[in-house]
């Protein structure tokens, strides 16, 4: 793997202890690029949207694994993270956009209008790592509609979230869940699986693949496509 690709300092890395070391941070990005190729059809000529990109872990994974894709577009609400990514990772195939969208955890003073900065039907693969794990029902339902609109006809959405069978529809910071200490606004939002999938279906999205509890902190993985 090329050593010249810069890495963000640990304080800018989302995911806590999971990506604290340089090795784990890079390996996590490379792993997800390979996984997107396997389950979501990511290719070198794909248009990839990283919604909730942080400081660009997936972009670094793309650079290490392939050099670039046709278009990598990272989007986030956190100014310091996007600024670092722009300054160190942007190139002719890699760009980053700061959006001022409201989220009680990461951008409490942001605008409430839901927006993903992409043209309709323009995204081949939409990657959303640990975004819906920090949103309540109204935002999940609203952003599912937006994702469906920007997704190309044969595109795929890869996302992680907390879902379980036979639990209340939506709970913020559920006590004793996964033996972790959830603190502060929207640290963990857990959904009933059937309820979550009904929100996706209402947006015109179908479940293409599901794996329970295998992602960070016990999140589940979905691959979604147009219904």
The one-character DSSP state at 2 is -
Residue 32 is assigned to a structural domain of this protein: no
Cα gap 217→201, rounded to integer Å:
26
In this structure, what CATH number is given to the domain that contains residue 64?
Answer: 3.40.50.150
Residue 39 is assigned to a structural domain of this protein: no
- The backbone torsions φ and ψ at residue 148, rounded to the nearest 5 degrees and listed phi first, read -60, -35
Domain total in the chain: 1
Q: Per residue in 73-121, pLDDT tens?
A: 999 999 999 999 999 999 999 999 999 999 999 999 999 999 999 999 9
The pLDDT of residue 16 is 65
In this prediction the pTM is 0.95
The length of the chain, given as a count of residues? 227
Residue 169 is assigned to a structural domain of this protein: yes
The pLDDT of residue 11 is 87
Cα gap 201→199, rounded to integer Å:
5
Residue 201 has pLDDT above 90, yes or no: yes
- The backbone torsions φ and ψ at residue 177, rounded to the nearest 5 degrees and listed phi first, read -85, 125
Q: Per residue in 154-181, pLDDT tens?
A: 999 999 999 999 999 999 999 999 999 9
What range does the domain containing 59 cover? 45-226
Residue 14 is assigned to a structural domain of this protein: no
- The backbone torsions φ and ψ at residue 71, rounded to the nearest 5 degrees and listed phi first, read -155, 115
Residue 90 is assigned to a structural domain of this protein: yes
Residue 27 is assigned to a structural domain of this protein: no
Residue 174 is assigned to a structural domain of this protein: yes
């Amino acid at each position: 793997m090329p050593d010249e690709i810069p890495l963000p300092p640990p304080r800018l890395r989302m995911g806590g202890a999971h990506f604290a070391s340089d090795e784990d941070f890079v390996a996590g990005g490379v792993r997800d690029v390979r996984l997107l190729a396997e389950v979501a059809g990511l290719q070198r000529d794909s248009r990839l949207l990283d919604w909730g990109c942080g400081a660009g872990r997936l972009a670094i994974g793309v650079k290490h694994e392939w050099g670039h894709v046709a278009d990598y577009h990272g989007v986030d609400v956190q100014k310091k993270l996007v600024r670092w990514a722009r300054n160190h990772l942007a190139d002719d195939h890699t760009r980053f956009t700061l959006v001022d969208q409201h989220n009680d955890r990461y951008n409490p003073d942001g605008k409430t209008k839901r927006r993903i900065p992409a043209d309709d039907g323009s995204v081949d693969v939409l990657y959303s790592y640990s975004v819906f794990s920090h949103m309540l029902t109204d935002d999940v339902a609203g952003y599912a509609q937006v994702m469906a609109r920007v997704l190309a006809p044969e595109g795929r959405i890869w996302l992680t979230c907390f879902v379980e069978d036979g639990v209340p529809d939506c709970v913020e910071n559920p006590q004793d869940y996964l033996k972790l200490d959830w603190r502060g606004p929207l640290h963990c939002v857990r959904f009933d699986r059937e309820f979550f999938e009904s929100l996706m279906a209402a947006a015109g999205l179908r479940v293409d693949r599901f794996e329970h509890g295998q992602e960070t902190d016990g999140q589940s993985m979905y691959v979604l496509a147009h219904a």
